[in-house]
Amino acid sequence: MNNMIVICTECSEEHDTSEVKFLNIEEDIQGRDIMYFECPVTNLEARSLVYAIEAAESIHSDKGYSLGTPEAQEAFERKRGYKL
């Protein structure tokens, strides 16, 4: 396991970037990496910001910060059991 994850827009699960089939990557307007990958659960194309595990956990230690898209935020909170 590496320390980079994506949060799937298809199944709402966290996936280690080394465990998904990489399709493409681009930058959003703020310079964040958006990775396109094949979801290992649904086998559909999905996209996500790329998160460092340590950074994703520290974001949730401070109330009021989000992970980007509402879908990614909701998936992360559901997976980790966080309530902001």
CB-CB contact of 17 with 50 (8 Å): yes
Per-residue pLDDT of the chain in tens (84 residues, 90 and over written 9):
568 899 998 898 889 999 999 999 999 888 889 999 999 999 999 999 998 876 555 544 544 445 566 677 777 777 766 554
Task: Confirm whether pTM is higher than 0.75.
Answer: no
Q: How far apart are CA 9 and CA 12, in angstroms?
A: 6
The per-residue pLDDT for 53 is 77
Please give the C-alpha separations between residue 54 and each of 4, 10, 28, 51, in angstroms, as whole numbers: 9, 23, 21, 8
